[in-house]
């Protein structure tokens, strides 16, 4: 029985260290064994709470990312201390003894000893008497010190990544003059009909989007930082980027702006947008996909014609065959809208 308890403790320690490694050091989306399921569970719980008190939903969900960070760090610390406590527990009174008087042999005492060792505070009232448990105490103290260092670094990295994402989101929002409209963004980039110089702007936007994808790879919890302002949210950022690429492909005059339509900047913007949606779909989003109703295509067509009017008003030459352009825009939108709708619904974001 004692051996089983110690094996269980060893298993908990190995699983926790594996999760810390996969979450903090391996940097690939969806690779952790504890953190991501914990994040999903917390998110589902918070969504259930917001259904009970919908008036507080935005305020409550705005704290979701921070709650998850605290929960992850707490689980790591508690799991390592509990794992070592299970190894120590059967040896209380023999390999580990009180410095004075009778040694308590309850699990709370084992957890107390483990906690002091893990936090590197040390304890004088319980002393390891064998070389094995002296080394075990030293190992736990080393892991405790390393864990604190790694988690602090992880915490700072997550919030630095969050600042990067928020800066990009706010930049996109203000480029549209606060409308959050891709047509407005494109019209302002090509003011007075001059689009020859926007490739660098689009390339910078694509670069920032790809950086956002890599940040999401490295810190999967980032997706759950959902602020009350919609323009900060990941679905809104993706919508602006991918809709801009779709309008460039379908609404601009293909002859006059051929170099732009076939540029690496547009390819990068479209590819980066679809890539991040695909990655999130495979690793985080629920497996069922929201199907867009056929009547939504009428909304997309109207959106296309409104965008064409806005671009024309700015002096930008649009597609000569507007009906064909509308068909192309709808076809492009069919590729990404279901995934984006699934993402926005999962994150409780109203696009």
Tens of pLDDT along 258-298?
A: 888 889 999 999 999 999 888 888 877 777 666 666 778 89
For residue range 147-163, what is the model confidence (pLDDT) as tens digits? 888 888 889 999 999 99
- Contact criterion met (CB below 8 Å) for 252 and 318: yes
Least confident window among 118-127, 130-139, 257-266, 335-344: 118-127
Q: Per-domain residue ranges for the chain?
A: 2-152, 181-346
For residue range 173-220, what is the model confidence (pLDDT) as tens digits? 999 988 889 999 998 888 776 777 788 888 899 999 999 988 888 888
**pLDDT classification of 84: cutoffs 50, 70, 90:** very high
For residue range 224-265, what is the model confidence (pLDDT) as tens digits? 998 888 889 899 999 999 999 999 999 999 888 888 888 999
């Amino acid at each position: 029985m004692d051996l089983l308890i110690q094996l269980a403790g060893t298993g908990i320690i190995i699983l926790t260290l594996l999760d810390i490694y996969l979450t903090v050091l391996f940097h690939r989306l969806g690779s952790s064994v504890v953190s991501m399921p914990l994040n999903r569970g917390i998110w589902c719980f918070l969504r259930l709470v917001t259904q009970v008190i919908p008036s507080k939903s935005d305020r409550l969900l705005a704290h979701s990312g921070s709650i998850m960070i605290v929960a992850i760090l707490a689980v790591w610390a508690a799991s390592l201390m509990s794992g070592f406590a299970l190894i120590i527990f059967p040896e209380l009174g023999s390999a580990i003894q009180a410095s004075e008087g009778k040694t308590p042999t309850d699990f709370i005492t084992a957890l107390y000893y483990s906690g002091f060792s893990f936090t590197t505070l040390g304890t004088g009232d319980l002393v390891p008497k064998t070389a094995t448990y002296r080394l075990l105490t030293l190992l736990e103290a080393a892991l405790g010190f390393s864990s604190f260092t790694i988690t602090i670094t992880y915490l700072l990295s997550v919030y630095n990544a969050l600042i990067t994402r928020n800066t990009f989101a706010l930049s996109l929002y203000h480029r549209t003059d606060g409308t959050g409209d891709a047509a407005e963004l494109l019209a302002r980039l090509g003011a007075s009909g001059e689009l020859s110089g926007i490739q660098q702007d689009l390339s910078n936007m694509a670069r920032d989007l790809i950086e956002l994808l890599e940040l999401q790879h490295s810190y999967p919890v980032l997706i759950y930082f959902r602020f009350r302002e919609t323009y900060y949210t990941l679905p809104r950022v993706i919508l602006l980027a991918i809709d801009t690429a779709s309008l460039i492909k379908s609404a601009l005059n293909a002859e006059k702006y051929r170099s732009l339509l076939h540029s690496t900047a547009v390819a990068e913007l479209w590819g980066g947008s679809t890539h991040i949606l695909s990655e999130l779909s495979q690793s985080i989003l629920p497996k069922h996909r929201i199907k867009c109703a056929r009547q939504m295509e009428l909304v997309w067509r109207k959106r296309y014609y409104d965008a064409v009017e806005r671009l024309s008003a700015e002096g930008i030459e649009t597609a000569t065959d507007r009906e064909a352009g509308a068909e192309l825009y709808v076809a492009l939108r069919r590729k990404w809208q279901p995934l984006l709708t699934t993402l926005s619904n999962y994150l409780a974001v109203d696009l």
